[in-house]
Amino acid sequence: MNEVRPRTRIQRRNTGAILEAALAVFAAQGFRGATLDQIAEAAGLSKPNLLYYFPSKEAIHLDLLTGLLDLWLDPLRALDPEGEPVAEILAYVRRKLELSRDFPLESRLFANEVLQGAPRLAGVIAGELRDLVEAKAAVIRRWAEAGRIRPVHPQHLIFSIWALTQHYADFEVQVRLVLGAGEPDPFPAAEAHLEALFTRLLAP
Amino acid sequence: MNEVRPRTRIQRRNTGAILEAALAVFAAQGFRGATLDQIAEAAGLSKPNLLYYFPSKEAIHLDLLTGLLDLWLDPLRALDPEGEPVAEILAYVRRKLELSRDFPLESRLFANEVLQGAPRLAGVIAGELRDLVEAKAAVIRRWAEAGRIRPVHPQHLIFSIWALTQHYADFEVQVRLVLGAGEPDPFPAAEAHLEALFTRLLAP
DNA sequence: GTCTATAGACGGATAGAC
DNA sequence: GTCTATCCGTCTATAGAC
């Protein structure tokens, strides 16, 4: 199921180029919309050569998704129960927005997958992700009960953070078109806006 | 480019069945992922018969997208410059969340399209939608300047409303899996959460 | 209006030479 | 490891009988 173990320099370079090319194509077209021709072209390889490194289109896609998960969950993992509540949540928002800015393709790959029913990620979402959210929701609930933040539904607070930050990656085209040519980089204003939003929501 | 004009009852029934079936399939699989076989099957027609009513797969998709636009923009159009600011914005949030609850397929059709670069909607987004947002942003800005709501970036406020409400349709699978079987309908809690969020953000 | 049959193009994957 | 050639399945769309 997995790619050729990259022992040599050439193998490392080629599997890397394939994954990078595939990320761009899958993010822009979805799994079924992407073709091996496009990926091979973008990676600078022939189609059969690409299939020398990965056994199938599905295998490339799965490799990308699984490789993505840690990047995606780390910011939430870093939420520190011992920290100052509002500052911790604002830092989480900031880290998540940075992911949208620096890894928009990864965000869109993930969005494509969930949007189409998460056929390959349902297990991880119902397992690993759910457990992590549960744990951090408990932290947020304790903060609220201690009066250190205003009362809030913990899970829906987390959904809000995901929705608001990922929107700037997943709907980037719409954001830019609606703002127009005047404001080329929407992220600074987005960061200020989200900081104000969550501060007013949470600060007791 | 368009479908057979539905003069007879049979034609009206069949074009309706096709559009309904196509909405489900396009929403779940995206444009390229969807096949005419799936749509025909879901509509209870043969594939050639389907192509008697619409000239091409593309034409069905375009019909759905254009038909969707009014439904999608009406809640924002209804934002009343003469109303009470916080109540008006909360009502907009509520209407938008109702769309996510009652028309999740439409939301996912739209999300698929924007996510993949809005190839067919870029014109409308940069034109009609941008103008509408511009106009309503001006209203919000005046409210803020008059001290009737707290100062806020109008466009990013609107993006926030889109992101938060559409998340419950577009990422519905993830929301349900993370919440688990305990809470079968996430919408009541979502509505309460969003009402609190925007009230605290905006109430002066 | 609806069907069977099929054309014609494309996409994933493999064979086999080098 | 990389290539050319190609197999085979699937997909959109059309032809043509009824």
The pLDDT-based confidence of A85 (bands split at 50, 70, 90) is very high
- DSSP-derived letter for residue B186 is -
pLDDT of A44 above 80:
yes
In this predicted structure, the answer to whether residue A8 has a pLDDT above a threshold of 90 is no
Q: Are residues B183 and B157 in the same domain?
A: yes
Strand, helix or coil at B185? coil
Same domain, B68 and B131: yes
Q: What is the count of structural domains for chain B?
A: 2
Where residue B8 falls among pLDDT bands split at 50, 70, 90? Answer: confident
Q: How does pLDDT run across A172-199, given as a tens digit for each residue?
A: 999 999 999 888 899 999 999 999 999 9
Q: What is the mean pLDDT of chain A?
A: 96
Please check whether strand C approaches the CB of A47 to within 7 Å.
Answer: yes
Distance A48 CA to C14 C1' (A): 9
For strand D, is any atom closer than 7 Å to the CB of B49? no
Same domain, B31 and B68: no
Which of B55, B72, B95 is the last residue in one of the domains? B55
Nearest to A108 by CA among A172, A51, A151, A61: A172
Indicate whether A4 and A68 sit together in one domain.
no
B101 plus B17 within the same structural domain: no
Q: Give the sign of the dihedral formed by CA A134, CA A136, CA A138, CA A141.
A: negative
Residue of A nearest to B199 (CA): A201
What is the arithmetic mean of pLDDT over B71-97?
98
Q: Are residues A9 and A80 in the same domain?
A: no
Task: Flag if B150 and A111 touch (Cβ within 8 Å).
Answer: no
pLDDT at B154 over 70: yes
Q: Clarify whether residues B120 and B179 are in a common domain.
A: yes
The pLDDT assigned to B183 comes to 85
Q: What is the domain-level CATH number for residue B185?
A: 1.10.357.10
pLDDT of residue B2: 62
Question: What's the whole-number mean pLDDT along residues B91-116?
Answer: 98
Q: Which domain holds residue A125?
A: 64-202
Q: Say whether pTM exceeds 0.75.
A: yes
Closest nucleotide to A8, Cα to C1': D1
- Nearest by CB: B159 against A125, A155, A167: A167
Please tell me whether any atom of strand D lies within 7 Å of the Cβ of A199: no
**Model confidence at B5, in pLDDT bands (50, 70, 90)?**
low
Note whether A69 and A48 are same-domain residues: no
Confidence check: pLDDT of A1 > 60: no
- The pLDDT value recorded for residue B184 is 87
CA A63 to C1' D2 (Å) is 23
Whether residue A77 is found in the same domain as residue A158: yes
Q: How much is the average pLDDT of B40-57?
A: 97
We report the CATH number of the domain holding residue B51 as 1.10.10.60
Q: Looking at the structure, do residues A173 and A95 belong to the same domain, yes or no?
A: yes
CA distances from residue B5 to A124, B8, B39, B57 in whole angstroms, order as listed:
47, 9, 20, 17
Kindly tell me if the per-residue pLDDT of A98 is higher than 70.
yes
Residue A10 approaches strand D within 7 Å at CB: yes
Shared domain check, B190 and B133: yes
Residue at which a domain ends, from B24, B55, B86? B55
Nearest residue to C5, CA vs C1'? B48
Q: Is the dihedral of CA B50, B51, B54, B60 positive or negative?
A: positive
Are residues B75 and B6 part of one domain?
Answer: no
